[in-house]
Amino acid sequence: MKRLTLLTFSLLLSLTCTRLAAQPGAAQPNAPQYHIRQPNAIPLHGEWWFLLDPAGAGIAAQWYREDLAKENRQDKVTVPHCFSTDPRYEFYTGTAWYRKTFAWKKTTGKRVILHFDAVFYKSNVWLNGQKIGEHEGGYTPFSFDVTGQLKDGNNLLVVAVNNDTWKTNTIPGLKDGGNINDGYPAWVNYGGIIRPVYLTIEPEVYTENVKIETTPDLAKGTAVVKAKIRVRNASSAAATPKIELTILQDKKPLTLRWKTKTKSIPAGQTAVLEAETGLTATQVKLWDLDQPNLYELKTVAGEDTLASNFGIRKIEVSGAQILLNGKPFKVGGGNRVIDYPGMGSLEPDWLVEKDFRLMKEAGMEFQRLTHYTPSEYFYDLADRYGMLIITEAGNWQLTPKQMDNDSMRVKFRAQFREMAERDWNHPSVIAYSVGNEYGSTTASGQRWTKDMIAYARELDPTRLYTFASMLLNTLPEKPEDEASQYVDFISTNTYGGHAKSLDHIHKLYPDKPVFISEWGTRSDGKGGEVGQAQHLSDVMVEIRKRPFVVGASWWTYNDYRSKLFGTNVNGFRPWGIVGPDRVPRLAYPVHQKEFSPVIIEKTDFQTGDQGIHQLTLKITSRGDFPARSLKGYTLKAGDTSIALPDLNPGESKDLVIPVRGFEKQIHITVIKPTGFITTQTDIELK
C-alpha cells in the first residue's frame, strides 16, 4: 500500500487531461500498462507458464513441485492474464495453473511480501514447493509473507486458480432459489491472475495500512485529520515504533502539530497506532466534484515510510437530500461492467482511462460502479478529477437460505473488509453497498442488511450505507416491511413505471434521499437505438419533477458478455450507451445533454460590420436535475475561450460572444474546471 509514486510497467509515469481526452477509438498500446501502487514493488508480471487442469488433478499430483515443470506440456501467457478470453481456453471453467521462475538474493533483517491485486476466483499459492496460502474472492487484493520460503538463486512461484463460481456457496455464485434458468450472475466468471502480482521488501517493523479520517468544520473552514496506522512487528522482539507524519498540500509540507499515541507491539503481532492534527482555514481546500483538491499523508513508522493521498470533504444526509460539503447535489451516473472484447475482466491503464473519460463526459459522475471491486486506478482518477462512487461487495441476488448461511456471511465480510481497507482513503468513495437485488422483504434479507451495515460501520463509520433494492417499487406497504429502513439513503433498481415507483418509495421513506441505482433499456429493444435515447429523455422528465431523487445511474455504461437468459447470440447484452468496443451509441450525446448541469440558449445574434458579429447566449445552471453549483467552468466558441460566471443552481447569466467570419453556425463547448466536456451544441448564426 506504499503510495509515494504510481509505478507502471512502462515509461508512463504521469496522467494528464490531454491524454484522457484521447479519442475513444484510439488504438490500445502494444504492451498494456498496469499500475502498481507501491514504489518499492518488484513486478512479477510478464511471461508465465500456463496449463489447464480440467480434471482437478494438479494438487493431488503435486504440480507445484519444481521437478515437475515440463515446458513442452505448458503454454506461455502474459500476466495479468484472463484465461477465459484467451482464444486457446475461451470460457473454460475449472482449475488452471500459472508458474513463474524468478531470481532472488536473500537479505537479512527484511520481510518480503508477495502481493496479488486480484485473482478470480479461488487461488492456492506455492513457493518453491511449499504452500504459502490460499484466497477466495475474485476482485480484492491479498498478500503473503514469503520471507521464509525464498532462497538464493531461482525461485518457483506456482498459483492454481479456479474460476468455478457456478456454485451456491461462492460470492458471486449460483442462486439456490429453484427458479428455472435463473441460477447464475449476469456477468461472466472471467478467470485468471487478472491484476498485477509483485513483491515488496519491508523492514521487520512496517506499516501495513493507514486509514485517514477527515472532519471539516464547514462554518470555521478548519478540519481535523486522524490517522489510524496498522503496524506489523515481524521481528523476534517487542518494538515501539516512532511515528512521524507529514501532510503535503500541492507537494509542500504543512506546518502542523500532531498528537500521536504509540505503544509497544509484541513480537509477531500487529497493532493500530493513532495520530491526530488540526488544519487551519488557510490550510483547508475541500474536495468536491469540480475542485477535487487532494493532500498527501506521509507516515513514517520506525524505518518504514508510507504515502497516501486523501481529500477533505463532508458527506451527509439531511432529510431527502445528500449534502457534499454542506451543499445538496443531484448528479447522473452509470453502471460500468468490467468487460472488454478479447480481454474480459482485465483493466489495463488505457482502458480505465478511456472508460473514465467517456463516463465523465457523459455526465456519469455519481454511481455504484459495479457489483464488485474494480481496479483501484479508476478510483485514483475519480479522486483526481472528481467522481462520486458507491462501492459494492458480493451479494448479487443471494437467496434467504444463502444469506442465513454462516459460511456465506464469513465470505462476504472477508470480501467487504478487503474492499474497504483498499479503498477507504479515496474521497471519491462516499458510500458502501451491502448487496444488490436480494430478498429485502424477507426476514433473512432484513437481518442481512442490518447485520452487514453494522459490521461495515465498525470498519468505516465515515461513509454512508445502502443496498440496491429491486422490491421497493410497489411491494412494501410500510417502511418496516423492507430492509431499506436500515440504510442512509435509498437505492432502487427501476425498469418501468418510474413515476409511480418513485412516488411509492418517497411515500414509504419521505426523509430519505432516493438514488436510482439502475434504470435503462436495451439498444435492440423497441425503437432500437433511437428508442433507447428517447426512453432516456422521457424518464428524465419524471425524475426532474421529484426533488427527492439525488442520482440516476444508467444500466449500463457499456455492453457486456453474459450467460444469462436474454443475452444476444453474439454473447453481449446491449444495455450500454457505448458498445462493447466503447463506440458511442445515439444515447451517448443524449445522456451528456440530459445530465449536464449547464443549459445553453441563444437569445440574440447581431450582424456587424466587416464580418464581426455578436452572439448572446443565456447560460443557466440547472436547478432541477442535475443540480450543482458551477464554479470555474469555461465556454469555448470556435477558437474563443471565455470563463463562465460562477452560478448557483437555478441561476442564469447572459454572455456576449464576438464572432468573426461568415459561418452559418458555431460549435459551443462547455468544459469543467478539470478539463472534461460537460455539454456541446451547434448554434445557428442568424
Residue 18 reports pLDDT greater than 80: no
Tell me what pLDDT residue 178 has.
79
* Whole-number Å distance between alpha carbons of 203 and 109: 7
Q: Given its phi and psi angles, is residue 344 left (phi above 0), alpha (psi -120 to 50 degrees) or beta?
A: left
Domain chopping of the chain, boundaries: 34-202, 205-313, 331-594, 598-684
**Would you say 197 and 35 are in contact if contact means Cβ atoms under 8 Å apart?**
no
DSSP string, 119-166: -BSEEEEEETTEEEEEEE-SSS-EEEE-TTT--SEEEEEEEEEE----
State the cell numbers at 255.
506546518
Q: Is 484 exposed, middle or buried (0-12, 13-18, 19+ CB in 10 A)?
A: buried
> Which pLDDT score is estimated for 38?
86
Q: How far apart are CA 482 and CA 471, in angstroms?
A: 8
Average the pLDDT over 628-651 and give the result.
95
Question: Could you report the per-residue pLDDT of 406-457, keeping only the tens digit for each?
Answer: 999 999 999 999 999 999 999 999 999 999 999 999 999 999 999 999 999 9
**C-alpha cell of residue 57:** 488433478
| Alpha carbons 245 and 258: distance in angstroms, whole number | 8
Taking the domain 331-594, which CATH number applies? 3.20.20.80
d(CA 323, CA 5) in angstroms, rounded, equals 32
Contact 516, 492 (CB under 8 A): yes
For residue 220, pLDDT beyond 60 = yes
CA distance 41 to 6: 10
Which pLDDT belongs to residue 28? 61
pLDDT in tens, 48-86: 999 999 999 999 999 999 887 666 789 999 999 999 999
The residue written with cell numbers 419521505 in the block is 510
- Calculate mean pLDDT across residues 658-670: 91
pLDDT at residue 101 is higher than 90:
yes
- In angstroms, the Cα distances linking 410 to 13, 43, 390, 616, 675 are 39, 31, 22, 62, 43
Q: Which of 9, 186, 255 is nearest to 573 (CA)?
A: 186
Contact (CB, 8 A) for 427 and 292: yes
User: What does the pLDDT read at residue 71?
Assistant: 67
Residues 6 or more apart from 684 whose CB is under 8 A from it? 602, 664, 665
pLDDT for the residue 73 = 85
Q: What angle do CA 256, 262, 264 make, to 5 degrees?
A: 160
17 pLDDT above the threshold of 60: no
The Cα 88–Cα 673 span in angstroms is 46
Evaluate whether 371 touches 391 at the Cβ level (below 8 Å).
Answer: no
What's the pTM?
Answer: 0.94
Contact 309, 3 (CB under 8 A): yes
CA end-to-end distance (rounded Å), the chain: 58
Percent of the chain with pLDDT over 70: 95
What pLDDT score does 25 carry?
A: 40
pLDDT digits (tens, 9 = 90+) for 257-283: 999 999 999 999 999 999 999 999 999
List, as one string, the DSSP characters of 47-72.
EEEEEEETT--TTTTTTTSGGG--GG
> How far is CA 256 from each of CA 219, 241, 273, 277, 625, rounded to the nearest angstrom?
21, 20, 18, 7, 41
Record the cell numbers describing residue 287, joined without a space.
474536495
What pLDDT does 4 receive? Answer: 38
Give the whole-number percent of the chain exceeding pLDDT 90: 87
Homologous superfamily (CATH) of 205-313 is Immunoglobulins (2.60.40.10)
| 542-594 residue pLDDT tens | 999 999 999 999 999 999 999 888 999 999 999 999 999 999 999 999 999 99
Specify the CATH superfamily of domain 34-202: Galactose-binding domain-like (2.60.120.260)
- Provide the pLDDT confidence category of residue 30 given band limits of 50, 70 and 90: low
205-313 and 598-684 agree in CATH topology: yes
Looking at every residue in the chain, the average pLDDT score rounds to 93
**Angle between helix 406-423 and helix 376-385 axes, rounded to 10 deg:** 40
Cα 329 to Cα 580: distance, rounded to the nearest angstrom: 31
**Fold of the domain built from segment(s) 598-684:** Immunoglobulin-like (2.60.40)
Give which of 539, 538, 585 is closest to 558, Cα–Cα: 585
Cell of 465: 450505507
pLDDT at 184 over 80: no
Show the CA angle centred on residue 372, arms to residues 452 and 114, nearest 5°. 100
C-alpha cell recorded at residue 528: 432500437
What is the spatial distance between Cα 224 and Cα 432, in angstroms, rounded to a whole number?
A: 23
